Structure 1
Amino acid sequence: MGASFATHHVLFLVWFLPAAFSLSFFFFKAESISNVSCNEKDNQALVTLKRGLTDHGHVLSSWSDHKDCCIWDGVICDKKIGRVFELHLNYSGLGGEISGSLLQLEHLNYLDLSGNDFNSWEPFKPSLSVFWHNSDLYVDNLRWMSGLSAIQHLDLSDADLHREVDWLQIMSKFPSLSDLYLSYCQLDSLNPSLGFVNFTSLGFLDLAENHFNHEIPNWFSNLSTSLIELDLYNNSLKGNIPPSIFNLEKLELLDLGLYSLNGPIPSSVGNLSRMRLLYLEQNQLNGTIPESLGLLSKLEMLYVGENSLTGTVDEGHFRKLSKLKNLYMSEARISGKAPMWFWNWTSNITFINLSNNHIECNVSDIFLSSTVKVLDIANNSFYGPISTFLCQKKIRKNELEVLDASNNLLSGELSHCWKYWQSLIHLNLGSNNLVGRIPYSMGALVNLQALRLQNNSVYGDIPSSLKKCSNMRLIDMGDNHLSIIPLWIGEMTNLTVLRLRSSEFKGYIPQQICQLSSLRVLDLANNSLSGSIPNCLKNISAMTLPNSNVISFMYLNIYAENVRLVPKGNEMEYQENLKLVRLIDLSSNNLSGSIPAEISNLSKLRFLNLSRNHLMGKIPEKIGSMKELESVDLSRNHLSGKIPPSMSNLTFLSLLDLSYNNLSGTIPSSTQLQSFDALRYIGNPQLCGDPLPKSCTIEEQSLNKSPIGSVEDDSKNSSFYIGMGVGFAIGFWAICGALFFNRTWRHAYFRFADEIKDWIYVTTMIKMNHWKS
């Protein structure tokens, strides 16, 4: 919220950091000039400039001595005199140093060098030192700008200017300066002690995302004759809003969002007769909303949510706001019943956010014009059967894209009127009193990307018609009374979040769930699922590849998803950080069999919970290859064997629970594994070692020999038996073969055998006669 809508006109001097994301490259091409060619002085200046630059992308390949510089890429000339007056080299991947030859372009009035990676700026040395550090541009001082007396447009956004304490005095000395953009510049003072600042021509001032931590200075009121847009979004400004700031009679945009401002909204806000965009959200403003706000007849966007405002809002607040398109009053502590006139008044509105208030309203009274795209009434006291809202004839031609009516008092069965709502992209009816089956007609919502029916009393099957919603990215049907996970779920190939926890699901986890290659959140916890864990989970590439399938549903217009998950044993709400979550939660079911070894391939998984099942066998030996794991809960199963030594590689673990299994041997040594409480290992009688109080005997320690050692021992034993067999065979055939082929040896052998036999017989008979006597 609160993004500036300032129009960025032509820039005289632009420095931007190289974009962290890819931007389309755009080169201006000069129009052909029939009679006048490029001035020789300008031509040589540009050739000299090119020599100092590194051009790995060959974007300056057209810059040649043998061509007219007015037809070079990025160069625009005055048609009448052939002099260069605009230079567009933005986001062209250039580096190196900028030559002082730029000063020879005497007619240059537009220079855009944003999005490149220059080492230094030659024309202003030595008074300016520019160097790169951690991809940030630092500027020691701005005194070099004193010679730019005719400058009109200046954008130094993202440059670190915190070393220049006199930036305000320097900027105010330019009589022609009309546009000044200094967002993200790490500035820390607006010099509130100054009584006057001489910005005589300034129309657009963007100081968003800096570090101002004082009151709003009074010198802003001196700009009443010129200032059109003032953006101070997301600083640390505090204190009251000075009434004088609302005397800026030409102001069309004012952004004071995301501060620590307190006190009431001054009634002088009604003086801003030209105001189109007003952002006061996410402060600590209190008191009632002044009725004078309703005098802003040109207002298009109003954001006053997330404050500590009180009282009711009546027709007087909106009587002249005929051009309002976006109304954001979330968390404004508005109470009372929404009157009929309010819904009739919304004929031009496209965005309505009344969430998190204390508003009462029968949903049958809601009237939506065809202009409304977003309706967020979550966390209020809207009541009545949901069908009376969805099926009323007067809103059948709606073009609503986002409907969030969660956490209200809606009742009844889901209607069969979904064919009238085919523009819906996001639908959230969670945490109401809805009953009955999910109707087959919901398959008409072919544009749907997010379906939220959680925490109701919906029962039965999930209808197969929903597979027509092929754009679906989020399904949340948790906390209901459903039956089985359908096999067709594998056809929802764009699905990113599947939350079906606590919904009484039975049967098996279908193998088809492995076809959901985009899945980042799989939450099937607290059901009655049985059978084994599918061994094909490794096919879910979003959990194996870095940065795969960034969640595209995160922002539908200006609507952000929020999902409640249990990543580390406690329920948490994820919104903007949902895109960072990779989770599998199958806990509290009746799953059996072993943990598939293939699960170790999910190298980007962060949260794994398989606790409270009937799993047997060993913990996968290669679990240590899942190095991004932050939480592992395998407790209350029947797992046996030793804890894999590789688990010591999980350096990001902040939660580990292996309690109440049949694990044995020594707990592997690592800084991480010994940092957990003994309760995380309790209930494994044969387990020993720190942090358990039970010390390991020599035999128990031997159970924890490395797999490599075991392989070596087995190899030695195998070699012994193989060698003995080979030796026996060689010895047998060495003797028998010789007897078979040599008759003399054969006769001698049998004669010798006969003699031995006679000797044994005689000796035995003598011994027996001796025993008898």
Structure 2
Amino acid sequence: MVVSFAAHHVLFLVWFLPATFSLSFFFFKAESISNVSCNERDKQALLTLKRGLTDHERVLSSWSDHKDCCIWDGVLCDEKIGRVSELHLNNSKLSGEISGSLLQLEHLNYLDLSGNDFNCTPIPTFLGSMFSLAYLNLTSANFCGLIPHQLGNLSSLRYLSLGSNSDLYVDNLRWMSGLSAIQHLDLSYSDLHREVDWLQIMSKFPSLSELYLYYCQLDSLNPSLGFVNFTSLRVLHLSENHFNHEIPNWFSNLSTSLLKLFMYGNSLKGNIPPSIFNLEKLEFLDLGINSLNGPIPSSVGNLSCIRALYLDQNQLNGTIPKSLGLLSKLETLFVGKNSFTGTVDEGHFRKLSKLKKLYMSEAPLFFNVNSNWVPPFQLDYASMSSIKIGPNFPSWLQSQKSLSFLDMSMSGISGKAPGWFGNWISNITFINLSNNRIECDVSDIFLSSTVKVLNIANNTFYGPISTFLCQKKIRKNKLEVLDVSNNLLSGELSHCWKYWQSLIHLNLGSNNLVGGIPYSMGALVNLQSLRLQNNSIWGDIPSSLKKCLNLRLIDMGDNHLSVIPLWIGEITNLIVLRLRSSEFKGYIPQQICQLSSLRVLDLANNSLSGSIPNCLKNISAMALPESYDISFSYLSSFMYSYANVSYAENVQLVPKGNELEYKENLKFVRLIDLSSNNLSGSIPVEISDLFELRFLNLSRNHLMGKIPEKIGSMKELESIDFSRNHLSGKIPPSMSNLTFLGLLDLSYNNLSGRIPSSTQLQSFDSVWYIGNPQLCGDPLPKNCTIEDQSLNRSPIGSVEDDSKNSSFYIGMGAGFSTGFWAICGALYFNRTWRHAYFGFANEIKDWIYVTTMIKMNLLEKLRACLNK
């Protein structure tokens, strides 16, 4: 289970943003508010604005010349003078050009164009001449380029938000000095790195209350400054920058009225200064995802108003102070992914009656509470993975009636689950109890329609799988992830799959399941991964599965199946196909080549026969870089996200001779493993077109012929295993180009000639070349004779030797010698042949001598020229 913690921070952040910052996620209706008539000049200005805009959703349909503009959607007029004072055009899917006619709206003080799409055009400079503006919101409107200095002319502006326009930048911020009335300033996602004095400039605004500068590529908080004058500041958001230093001392001078401080993801170092915990009005503090070390200061208990505290994903150590238990208003506590030691007990939660969200995962803590403890809180989110909770099942969980998210994986819980367990989890939306030793009859588990994820992998759950799947109580379930792998479940797969059509990820692997795969599994039309590996399932793979067109991953390895079905090519989105060690017979179907998105093809250790399909080059995901790989967008299918927490698929593969588990890194694997079958014929030369392949294993088959000459063009290869076949001929010289090779096994074939010279090929131990009697050269102990070397020479026309002619004449000499001794025997026993032969030889010997010397002289001259 993988938690996306940055997303967690964003998720909980929105709870605490002030009302003044929240965007209006509705289209403003002025019709019910205004009772005045519109000024004609203002009306024509708005109609000109409409003509320049592309109104995809017809939200401006009420803007008609036949209606009073004060009752148009999104328009608000001043009731006293009938002039347009506000434009609420946010989240209207508008695009196009913002007309300069807005300048005619002389009384406009409120302009909201946020949440639209202006196609990366610059912010109009004329906005800096709309002097009556007090509110300007261009957030998430896809503006690009330089933030215009003219905005500094808006001396009445109190609210300026340019956030989440990812291609905005500044050359300096000195122009901002004119914003004397500014209270709310948001430049998040703008590139501010060119302005080194940003802090001094921002601190000169006397009324500044909220400052949002996250993702701004800032690199310094100016630690040398002793004092920064943020006297009115209530919200400071500086997250996701590159500060990479300690929290400066001037933080102790922040206004005691500060309510929210966001500093996550900044690479901050050193200790947490105790002075931060003197900000008694602070409601929200986020120092997560940094490199802070040392203990949590006990002064944390001074934060009497704190509602959310994030200290997770740092390097904090020591024990967690019990003063945390004094924070009676605390609703969210994130302290996971640190190096804390020691015990957490009842005292740490003494007054935390309002606690709703608790994240303590991945910290070496011991959660030691009495078996009869009743917590003062009612959690809705509890992430306590990888901390010591067991051995007994935590009885305090029974009191948590509002829990919707529970992660207690790898928590040392063992023994029999309590009787209340089966019904208790029925209303929890996300359950992860994997990697414990919980003993429970799976038939006792009931799932309501609210449960979306159930992960109880790697425990000792037992009982027939069909009893669990076919319960009447769970026929209305909405389960999307079911992982019961590595348990003791038994029996045949049920025919109740029509009740489980919400499933996206299904893992029943490593149990004691028997029987065939039921045809009814074709009802799982939303399924993206199907894992039945390591059971005793037998028979055919039913054709109904071809209805599951969303399948990206199929793992049926280690079973007793029959043949690879021809219809497999119809599941065109398939990325991983693992069928190893499942007793498959017959041929590898050509239809596999239709799986253009395939990145992992593992058919090893079966009884497959016939030849390797020569159409493998059609698998474009193994031939094209990621930028051209249409399957790349499907890789997110290996991850399931709920409430910013992810369930990640894991697959056991053998890339370099050892079985490894691939999880988040599965998206980087490109593998073909056809080893340990009965395949025959030659290695298709077309396999050399799989330029992005990283692992290739064809060992332990009956392959003959040569290694493809162009194998060196597969430059991403990290592992090649062709061992224990009947391959012959030389090792292609192009193999010297494979600079990423970490494993090369060519042993026990009929290869011959010299091993090509390269840093890579000579770095492997001789054991990877043994079993080829005619192979010679480093690293083998056998030196190459002239005859051996000739076996490794390139054919005529190659440029791999000194010249075309040298290869030809050396080959001619070796051939002449071989032919001479082959004929000598016949001449010795036949006198007539002997006299005729030597007569002929005398006539041509002079011609051969003269011709050879001329050629050799030319060769020496050519070498001399090349050496110069």
TM-score above 0.5, yes or no: yes
Aligned partner of 2:123 in structure 1 is 60
Q: CA–CA distance in 1 between the matches of 2:524 and 2:474?
A: 16
2:671 is aligned with 1:607: no
1:385 equivalent to 2:473? Answer no
Secondary structure at 2:122's aligned position in 1? coil
1:598 deviates by 1.3
Pair 222,608 (structure 1): closer, same or farther in 2 beyond 3 Å: same
Task: Give the distance between the partners of 2:276 and 2:591, measured in 1 at CA.
Answer: 70
Deviation, structure 1 residue 599: 1.1
Measured against aligned partners, the alpha-carbon deviations of 1:568-620 in whole angstroms (never above 9, x if no partner) come to 10001111111111111110001111111111111111111111111111111
The separation in 2 between residues aligned to 1:292 and 1:199, in whole angstroms, is 37
Residue 151 (1) aligns with residue 233 (2)? yes
- How far did residue 716 of structure 1 move? 11
| 2:212 is the counterpart of 1:113 | no
Note if contact 1:37-1:82 (Cα within 8 Å) is conserved in structure 2.
no
- Cα distance in 1 for residues equivalent to 2:20 and 2:741: 51
Q: Cα distance, 1:445 vs. partner?
A: 0.9
Matched, 1:554 2:628: no
In structure 1, the partner of 2:578 is 499
Tell me the distance in 2 between the aligned counterparts of 1:664 and 1:352. Answer: 59
Matching of residues 252-651 of structure 1 within 5 Å: 252-268=331-347, 269-286=349-366, 288-290=368-370, 294-313=374-393, 315=395, 317-547=396-626, 548=629, 549-550=631-632, 551-557=635-641, 558-651=646-739
Q: Is the 8 A contact 1:12 1:111 kept in 2?
A: no
Structure with higher Rg: it is 1
What's the CA shift for 1:123? Answer: 5.7
Which of 67, 74, 78 is equivalent to 2:138? 74
Letter in 2 for 1:355: S
Over 3 Å counting, the alpha-carbon distance change for 1:697 and 1:89 in structure 2 is same
Letter in 1 for 2:178: Q
2:792 to 704, 709, 722: 704
> How far is the alpha carbon of 1:175 from its aligned partner?
2.2
| CA–CA distance in structure 2, aligned partners of residues 600 and 284 of structure 1 | 49
Rounded Cα–Cα distance in structure 2 between residues aligned with 1:645 and 1:543: 23
Counterparts of residues 124-135 of structure 1 (less than 5 Å): 124=198
1:85 counterpart (145, 151, 159): 159
Instruction: Give the Cα–Cα distance (whole angstroms) in 1 for the partners of residues 520 and 161 of structure 2.
Output: 58
Question: 3-state SS of the aligned residue for 1:364?
Answer: helix
1:559 CA drift (Å)? 1.0
C-alpha distance in 1 between matches for 2:253 and 2:199:
23
Helix, strand or coil at the partner of 1:588: coil
8 Å contact from structure 1 (residues 279, 302) kept in 2 = yes
CA pair 426-708 structure 1, distance change in 2 beyond 3 A: farther
In 1, Cα distance between the equivalents of 2:784 and 2:238? 65
**Pairing of 1:14-53 with structure 2 (within 5 A):** 35=83
In structure 1, C-alpha distance between the alignment counterparts of 2:19 and 2:756, rounded to whole Å: 62
Distance 2:669 2:371 in 1: 44
Deviation per residue, 1:453-509 (Å, 9 max, x gap): 100000000000001111111111000000000000001111111100000000111
Q: How far apart are the structure 1 equivalents of 2:488 and 2:781? A: 53
Amino acid aligned to 1:343: G
Which of the residues 174, 177, 188 maps onto 2:258?
177
Report the CA distance between 1:293 and its aligned residue.
6.7
Deviation string, structure 1 residues 177-202 (Cα, Å, up to 9, x no partner): 2222212211122346x488421322
Per the alignment, do residues 89 and 185 of structure 1 end up closer, same or farther by CA in structure 2, a change over 3 Å counting? closer
State the alpha-carbon separation in 1 of the partners of residues 359 and 611 from structure 2.
54
Q: Normalization by structure 1: what TM-score?
A: 0.82
Question: Quick check: 2:247–2:270 contact (8 Å CA) kept in 1?
Answer: no
Offset of 1:654 from its aligned partner?
Answer: 0.9
Shift of 1:422: 1.0
Q: Could you tell me which amino acid in structure 2 is paired with residue 95 of structure 1?
A: Y
CA shift for structure 1 position 691:
1.0
Report the equivalent of 2:93. Answer: none
1:586/1:503 CA distance change after superposition, 3 Å: same
Which deviations, in whole Å up to 9, do the C-alpha atoms of 1:539-579 show, x marking residues without a partner? 11111222232312222122111111111100011111111
Contact 2:387 2:410 in 1 (8 A): yes
**Aligned-partner SS, 1:407:** coil
- Partner residue of 1:221? 301
**1:466 alignment partner AA:** L
Aligned equivalent of 1:26:
none
Stretch of structure 1 that moved more, 657-666 or 29-38: 29-38
Equivalent residue, structure 2, for 1:249:
328
CA deviation vs aligned residue, 1:135-157 (integer Å, no higher than 9, x gap) = 96421615397133222222222
The amino acid across from 2:239 in the alignment is S
Contact 2:173 2:201 in 1 (8 A): no
Alignment deviations for residues 690-728 of structure 1 (CA, whole Å, 9 cap, x no partner): 1111122233223333457448859999xxxxxxxxxxx
Q: Return the alpha-carbon distance in structure 2 between the equivalents of residues 293 and 701 of structure 1.
A: 81
Cα distance, 1:197–1:500 mapped onto 2, change above 3 Å? same
Report the alpha carbon displacement of residue 95 of structure 1 after superposing the two structures with TM: 3.1
1:248 and 1:715 mapped to 2: Cα distance? 87
| Shift in CA distance, 618/524, structure 1 to aligned 2, threshold 3 Å | same
CA deviations on 1:726-755 (whole Å, 9 max, x unpaired) are: xxxxxxxxxxxxxxxxxxxxxxxxxxxxxx
Q: CA RMSD in A?
A: 3.2
8 Å contact 1:267–1:292 — kept in the other structure? Answer: no
Q: 1:655 to 1:596 in 2, by over 3 A?
A: same
1:6 aligns with 2:69: no
Count of residue correspondences: 679
Structure 1 residue 32: Cα displacement: 6.5
**In 2, Cα distance between equivalents of 1:149 and 1:218:** 27
Going from structure 1 to structure 2, the CA distance change for 1:91 and 1:135 (only over 3 Å counts) comes to closer
Give TM-score, length-normalised by structure 2. 0.73
CA contact 1:63–1:72 (8 Å) conserved in 2: no
The 1:294–1:581 alpha-carbon spacing in structure 2 relative to 1, beyond 3 Å, is farther
Distance 1:263 1:593, change over 3 A: same
Q: Please tell me the residue identity of whatever aligns with 1:553.
A: S
Relative to structure 1, is the Cα distance of residues 409 and 67 closer, same or farther in structure 2, using a 3 angstrom cutoff?
Answer: same
Q: C-alpha separation between the residues in 2 aligned to 1:672 and 1:405?
A: 44
Asked whether the equivalents of residues 137 and 161 of structure 2 are also in contact (C-alpha less than 8 Å), the reply is no
Change (3 A) 1:168 1:626: farther
Cα pair distance change 1:662/1:136, threshold 3 Å: farther
Displacement after TM superposition at 1:62 (Å) = 5.9
* 568-577 or 696-705, which deviates more: 696-705
The amino acid across from 2:639 in the alignment is: Y
Amino acid aligned to 2:298: N
Secondary structure (helix, strand or coil) at the match of 2:302 reads: helix
Task: Report if the CA contact (8 A) 1:12-1:151 is conserved.
Answer: no
